[in-house]
């Protein structure tokens, strides 16, 4: 037998995760993916993420922080901020003032919202007037089945939850595209970013006039839709003003590829990090040394604004509550000291190298599907504008943690220099003084209605978060 060639200690070997994963872990990866697929098939808004996660947390013994008068190591709690920003924590052995370990993801995703006056009629067809949210490629939204998810709050405060288009027996909505036969001037000759104007993202919601109404009555198709909504949900046109209803693809998450190596879903960015960090928190073995916290934010896709985003004071509230309930000082200095010693994984996705679109990437510094979780040193655009650039010292600690614990990882940038770019919640934690680095699986088709991640990268994201919670100390 030929003697195995010696490894060169000074050369970094990059390996496909499928080549190195053990059969035991491969099985675990598919167990995680199965659960993730069913989660993603029903969770399609940030509110639904928060609600379903609270259900899971409570099943695992987590209790609302409002019910606690004190906390001790091993206690499990969660904070629900306005049903859109969720935090969950397992209290560790070390004092909170010595820093905590946070995995922060965002659970809002690019989608289409309804306008405040949502339903209108034109040419005896009824539509939902819409306004898109976040960075969508508008031309990817027509001609797919859409579901409507969200809440309508009635004047007496009753919150009506709406989900239409998910049950097999439900009708769906869809945005119609122009027939190619007559699209030459109105669409095909245009710049692709203008091919489907934002005002055209209105789905067809009805085509049947209410024949019970008087002959002279106007907008009978729209009125029939309002009647159907009133009969099913007890909501009026006035109730719809200001409602939060989102248009999302009506399909389920699925394995992708004949080998089932990947997962396709609406909203991997960033619920793949949301789900895997939640799973990692639930799976912490024993009482962690440092308090382990998972944060799930809203509004990242529109610049982290508002009181459910990573820029909100609720982030500090979490640490202040922990200090207070564990009997520590809650003065500003103690809170600042806690932040100074805190480590944050800004858990968000990167763009995977796509051989169909080679020109957009630097192949030597792109994350590849199946090569493990991506530890992104910096984000931003152009000359690293608005980047969070992780300190080399912290980055090196994370590399060592992953190496010591068999977490398959890679690095990469978001495309070529000057090709574009993006940001994450990392900056908000860096501003508070914490050590922070971006990390998460790489995605194909990022920000499209059906994004693709690898089973392997999803698993190693989960494992990275788990070892971070269990083993990272400053």
**Least distance in angstroms from the C-beta of 49 to Mn ion:** 13
Q: Which stretch binds Mn ion (CB under 5 A): 262-270, 284-292, 313-321, 365-373?
A: 262-270
The verdict on 108 binding Mn ion (CB under 5 A) reads no
The verdict on 298 binding Mn ion (CB under 5 A) reads no
Q: Which residue, 269 or 435, has its beta carbon nearer to Mn ion?
A: 269
> Are the C-beta atoms of 116 and 242 separated by less than 8 Å?
yes
Task: Give SS3 for 144.
Answer: coil
By DSSP bridging, strand 146-153 and strand 244-249 are antiparallel
Q: Which residue, 150 or 441, has its beta carbon nearer to Mn ion?
A: 441
**Least distance in angstroms from the C-beta of 248 to Mn ion:** 15
Task: Report residue 131 as tokens.
Answer: 């306004």
**Least distance in angstroms from the C-beta of 424 to Mn ion:** 6
Q: Which residue, 121 or 354, has its beta carbon nearer to Mn ion?
A: 354
364: how many CB neighbours lie within 10 A of its CB? Answer: 7
Kindly tell me the burial class for residue 423, based on how many C-beta atoms sit within 10 Å of its own C-beta (0-12, 13-18, 19 or more): buried
The Cα angle at residue 322 between residues 289 and 43, in degrees rounded to 5 = 90
178, 182, 187, 189 alpha-carbon torsion, rounded to 10°: 160
Q: What x-and-dash track marks residues 120-149 binding Mn ion by CB under 5 A?
A: ------------------------------
> Are the C-beta atoms of 161 and 246 separated by less than 8 Å?
no
**Least distance in angstroms from the C-beta of 422 to Mn ion:** 7
The verdict on 269 binding Mn ion (CB under 5 A) reads yes
**Rounded CA separation 346/379 (Å):** 11
**Rounded CA separation 335/338 (Å):** 5
Q: Which stretch binds Mn ion (CB under 5 A): 8-16, 39-47, 175-183, 263-271?
A: 263-271
**Least distance in angstroms from the C-beta of 235 to Mn ion:** 31
Task: Report residue 349 as tokens.
Answer: 């996705």
**Least distance in angstroms from the C-beta of 269 to Mn ion:** 4
**Least distance in angstroms from the C-beta of 368 to Mn ion:** 19
Helix, strand, coil content of the chain in percent (nearest 5): 35, 25, 40
DSSP state of 174: B
Q: Which residue, 137 or 397, has its beta carbon nearer to Mn ion?
A: 137
Question: Restricting to residues 333-392, which ones interact with Mn ion according to CB under 5 A?
Answer: 348
Q: Which residue, 350 or 435, has its beta carbon nearer to Mn ion?
A: 350
> Are the C-beta atoms of 105 and 439 separated by less than 8 Å?
no
Q: For the chain, what's the residue count?
A: 474
> Are the C-beta atoms of 87 and 293 separated by less than 8 Å?
yes
Q: Which stretch binds Mn ion (CB under 5 A): 44-52, 93-101, 270-278, 313-321?
A: 270-278
Q: What x-and-dash track marks residues 217-256 binding Mn ion by CB under 5 A?
A: ----------------------------------------
Q: Which residue, 348 or 435, has its beta carbon nearer to Mn ion?
A: 348
Q: Which residue, 73 or 306, has its beta carbon nearer to Mn ion?
A: 306
Q: Which residue, 219 or 438, has its beta carbon nearer to Mn ion?
A: 438
Q: Which residue, 95 or 267, has its beta carbon nearer to Mn ion?
A: 267
Counting Cα atoms < 13 Å in the Cβ hemisphere of 86 gives 30
**Least distance in angstroms from the C-beta of 353 to Mn ion:** 18
> Are the C-beta atoms of 382 and 421 separated by less than 8 Å?
yes
Binding-site size, Mn ion (CB under 5 A): 3
**Least distance in angstroms from the C-beta of 205 to Mn ion:** 28
**Least distance in angstroms from the C-beta of 404 to Mn ion:** 28
Q: Which residue, 224 or 361, has its beta carbon nearer to Mn ion?
A: 361
Task: Report residue 132 as tokens.
Answer: 């898109």
The verdict on 270 binding Mn ion (CB under 5 A) reads yes
Task: Report residue 50 as tokens.
Answer: 């928060």
401 φ, ψ (degrees, to nearest 5): -55, -45
142 φ, ψ (degrees, to nearest 5): -70, 160
Binding site for Mn ion (CB under 5 A): 269-270, 348
């Amino acid at each position: 037998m030929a003697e195995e060639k010696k490894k060169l200690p000074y050369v970094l070997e990059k390996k496909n995760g499928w080549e190195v994963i053990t059969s035991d872990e491969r099985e675990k990866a598919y167990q995680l993916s199965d659960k993730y697929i069913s989660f993603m098939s029903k969770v399609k808004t940030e509110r639904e993420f928060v609600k379903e996660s609270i259900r899971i947390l409570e099943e695992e013994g987590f209790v609302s922080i409002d019910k606690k008068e004190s906390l001790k190591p091993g206690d499990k709690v969660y904070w629900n901020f306005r049903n859109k920003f969720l935090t969950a924590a397992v209290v560790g052995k070390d004092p909170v003032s010595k820093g905590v370990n946070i995995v922060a993801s965002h659970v809002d995703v690019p989608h289409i919202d309804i306008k405040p006056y949502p339903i209108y009629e034109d040419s005896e067809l009824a539509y939902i007037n819409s306004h898109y949210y976040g960075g969508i490629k508008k031309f990817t939204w027509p001609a797919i089945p859409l579901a409507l998810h969200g809440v309508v709050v009635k004047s007496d405060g009753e919150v009506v939850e709406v989900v239409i288009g998910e049950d097999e027996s439900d009708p769906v909505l869809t945005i119609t595209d122009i027939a190619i036969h007559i699209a030459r001037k109105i669409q095909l000759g245009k710049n692709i970013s203008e091919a489907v104007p934002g005002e055209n993202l209105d789905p067809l919601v009805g085509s049947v006039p209410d024949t019970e109404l008087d002959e002279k009555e106007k907008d009978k198709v729209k009125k029939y839709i309002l009647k159907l909504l009133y009969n099913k949900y007890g909501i009026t046109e006035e109730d719809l003003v200001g409602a939060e209803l989102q248009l999302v693809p009506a399909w389920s998450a699925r394995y992708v590829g004949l080998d089932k190596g990947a997962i396709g879903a609406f909203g991997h960015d960033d619920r793949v990090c949301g789900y895997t960090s939640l799973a990692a928190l639930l799976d912490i073995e024993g009482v962690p040394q440092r308090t382990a916290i998972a944060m799930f934010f809203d509004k990242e896709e529109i610049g982290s604004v508002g009181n459910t985003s990573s820029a909100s004071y609720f982030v500090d509230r979490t640490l202040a509550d922990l200090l207070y309930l564990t009997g520590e000082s809650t003065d500003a200095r103690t809170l600042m000291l806690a932040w100074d010693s805190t480590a944050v994984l800004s858990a968000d996705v990167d763009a995977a190298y796509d051989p169909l679109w080679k020109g957009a990437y630097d192949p030597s510094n792109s994350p590849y599907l199946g090569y493990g979780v991506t530890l992104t040193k910096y984000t931003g655009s152009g000359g690293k504008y608005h980047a969070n650039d992780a300190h080399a010292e912290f980055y090196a600690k994370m590399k060592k943690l992953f190496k010591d614990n068999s977490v398959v990882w890679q690095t990469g940038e978001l495309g070529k220099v000057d090709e574009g770019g993006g940001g994450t919640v990392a900056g908000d934690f860096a501003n508070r003084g914490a050590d922070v680095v971006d990390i998460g699986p790489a995605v194909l088709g990022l920000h499209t209605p059906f994004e693709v991640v690898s089973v392997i990268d999803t698993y190693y994201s989960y494992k990275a978060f788990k070892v971070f919670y269990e083993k990272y100390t400053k």
